Amino acid sequence: MAQREIQSLDPFFRPRSVAVIGASNDPLKAGRQITYNLQAMGFLGPIYPVNPREQEILGLRCYPSIQAIPDPVELVVLIIPSAAIHATMAEIEARVRARGDIKAIICAAAGFAEMGTEEGRERQRVLVETSRRLGIRVLGPNCVGVIDTRGRIDTTFVETLLPVEHKTRAGGISFLSQSGALAVSILMWGTSRPVPLAMNKLITVGNMGDVDLLEMLEYLEHDPHTRVIGMYLEGYPRARELMTTLGRITRKKPVVVLKVGRTEQGATAAHSHTGSLAGADRIYDAAFRQHGVIRVGSLEELMDTLQAFDQLPLPQGNRVFLLTQAGGPGIYCTDILSSYSELRFASLSPAAREELARLLPPMAAVCRPEGYADITASADKHQHARSVELLLAEPTVDGLLLITVPPMFLPPLELAAELKAACQRAGQEGQQAGRAVQKPFLPVIMAGQWVHEARALLEEAGIPTFETPDRAARALANLVRYAEFQSLRRAGDIGAGV
């Protein structure tokens, strides 16, 4: 895609002004929620609600029509009955002919081609063809809109019931979805974590009447704030082109994909949903592997892996160490780690092994088996922190997992503060690309509400935490997988004289 075309997507994420056609004062209407979300996100430009029956919406002056807005409008959000599309597009056309200002439309309204009716298809044609004539890009129809935490834009009608500061936080994760509900769920789970998932952009493409998945993917490729791309995929008609693009992107940043339609039944359901073709899943799977795309098996793995890529450095190798304060959860996690052929258990140097045994309680099981230490429930916060620090500095370890189930005599918040300090000493905190000594550290502090604040303390310091041992193990395996792909590709490039 040419640079010019990519730039045509900018107004979706950093428009100078937004009009909401179909804004409302009714708390059960999406038109009110969209206006509210734009305000709540702290959008810096003017917001123009449009509704002929209202004077004011959420303290903003409301306009009877798009024509009546005196100042320039760059982005329009449409949340109108689809039957009104002809009249609305006529007004938009009149305005643009006169003022040339509107550059992008997000059509959140449904009732278009997804209906499977001729009427629906015709309405979508009117929306898209009018826009194209006017040089306006259209996202949707039948989409949930976009969120951009840095552009301070939220055109979704998602109600999270949360104070604004807990809704999301700026990070490097961009999520691109062929399902609005799935994107919304990721957002809602994200906001229910100890600290919200660190999002950059959230994009739902709906019917892809104009802007499609591939264009948005290329947009994210060039977006400097996107450190990792997540994608929910049912299928894409130009699959070869998609794969070529993915192969190019994964040289620069990781792409994590939840691709559905693995099974025949699933593929049939996907075909009903977005018209994606059945039967191609094995081809997708092989292409993902070839192009270094990380394919995940569950929603949890998707979220955890995105967070790990956003916040952790890539491992330099595949040698992992598991430090556990609790036998059962540790053994459980060992089974999961062992099931990944990509991973090896680290073999400590004799000096490190001795040092670790020295600083742990006498009953600790150190390196039985290799790459594993049960520090036992008698380990205090200092023993936790010192063993973490030792292993982060140990050259025979590429990635470190910690499992701990703090009992009542080890207050989780105090433990977290010690762990944070240990990471800081090891140069781990707020990990960014380009740090000198760093390796992924994945703590699992269990369980539930009892450790919520402790996890929040680490997460606020840029150290991701994980809900269960297996979730951390899967995220670490995906980091190793991508790191190995990158290093093999570099080796291949060198070998081919590139």
Q: Tell me how far apart the alpha carbons of residues 399 and 5 are, in angstroms, rounded to a whole number.
A: 41
371 to 390, contacts with its own copies by CB under 8 A? 371-372, 374, 377-378
303 to 332, contacts with its own copies by CB under 8 A? 325-332
Nearer to its own copies, 69 or 320 (CB): 320
Contact track, its own copies, 150-169, x by CB under 8 A:
-------xxxxxx-------
Q: Tell me how far apart the alpha carbons of residues 68 and 312 are, in angstroms, rounded to a whole number.
A: 49
The verdict on whether omega for the bond into residue 163 sits within 30 degrees of 0, i.e. cis, is no
Contact track, its own copies, 46-85, x by CB under 8 A:
----------------------------------------
Q: Tell me how far apart the alpha carbons of residues 165 and 245 are, in angstroms, rounded to a whole number.
A: 35
Of the candidate residues 234, 310, 394, 418, the single one contacting its own copies (CB under 8 A): 234
| 300 is a contact residue toward its own copies (CB under 8 A) | yes
Q: Which two tokens stand for residue 353?
A: 């092994």
Q: What's the Cα-to-Cα distance from 244 to each of 10, 176, 204, 435, 484, rounded to whole Å?
A: 23, 17, 22, 31, 20
Quote the Cα angle for 428-433-436, to 5°: 55
Of the candidate residues 150, 189, 194, 421, the single one contacting its own copies (CB under 8 A): 189
Of the candidate residues 4, 53, 282, 368, the single one contacting its own copies (CB under 8 A): 368
325 to 364, contacts with its own copies by CB under 8 A? 325-332, 334-335, 337-339, 345, 362-363
| 119 is a contact residue toward its own copies (CB under 8 A) | no
| 369 is a contact residue toward its own copies (CB under 8 A) | yes
Q: Tell me how far apart the alpha carbons of residues 430 and 462 are, in angstroms, rounded to a whole number.
A: 4
| 475 is a contact residue toward its own copies (CB under 8 A) | no
Least distance in angstroms from the C-beta of 110 to its own copies: 7
Reduced to 3 states (helix: H, G, I; strand: E, B; else coil), residue 328 is helix
Nearer to its own copies, 138 or 403 (CB): 403
Residues 45 and 18 sit within 8 Å (Cβ to Cβ): yes
DSSP code string of 66-122: GGG--S---EEEE-S-GGGHHHHHHHHHHHHHHH----EEEE----SGGG-SHHHHH
Cβ-in-10-Å burial (0-12, 13-18, 19+) of 436 comes to: exposed
Residues facing residue 257 across a β-bridge: 231, 295
Nearer to its own copies, 69 or 242 (CB): 242
Nearer to its own copies, 335 or 493 (CB): 335
| 140 is a contact residue toward its own copies (CB under 8 A) | no
393 to 452, contacts with its own copies by CB under 8 A? 405, 407-409, 411, 446-451
Of the candidate residues 149, 250, 438, 468, the single one contacting its own copies (CB under 8 A): 468
Least distance in angstroms from the C-beta of 282 to its own copies: 13
Cβ-in-10-Å burial (0-12, 13-18, 19+) of 36 comes to: middle
253 to 292, contacts with its own copies by CB under 8 A? 258, 260-266, 268-270, 272-274
DSSP code string of 117-178: SHHHHHHHHHHHHHHHHTT-EEE-SS---EEETTTTEE-------S-HHHH-EEEEEEEEES
Nearer to its own copies, 98 or 408 (CB): 408
Least distance in angstroms from the C-beta of 497 to its own copies: 41
Of the candidate residues 109, 182, 360, 419, the single one contacting its own copies (CB under 8 A): 182
Per-residue three-class SS string for 380-449: CHHHHHHHHHHHHHCCCCCEEEEEECCCCCCCHHHHHHHHHHHHHHCCCCCCCCCCCCCCCEEEEECCHH
Nearer to its own copies, 178 or 200 (CB): 178
The verdict on whether omega for the bond into residue 108 sits within 30 degrees of 0, i.e. cis, is no
| 192 is a contact residue toward its own copies (CB under 8 A) | yes
Lookup result for tokens 């834009």: 153
Nearer to its own copies, 178 or 226 (CB): 178
Of the candidate residues 17, 35, 51, 178, the single one contacting its own copies (CB under 8 A): 178
Q: Tell me how far apart the alpha carbons of residues 272 and 387 are, in angstroms, rounded to a whole number.
A: 53
| 491 is a contact residue toward its own copies (CB under 8 A) | no
Quote the Cα angle for 427-429-434, to 5°: 65
Nearer to its own copies, 263 or 487 (CB): 263
Least distance in angstroms from the C-beta of 103 to its own copies: 28
Nearer to its own copies, 8 or 37 (CB): 37
Tell me the site size for its own copies, rule CB under 8 A.
85
Least distance in angstroms from the C-beta of 337 to its own copies: 7
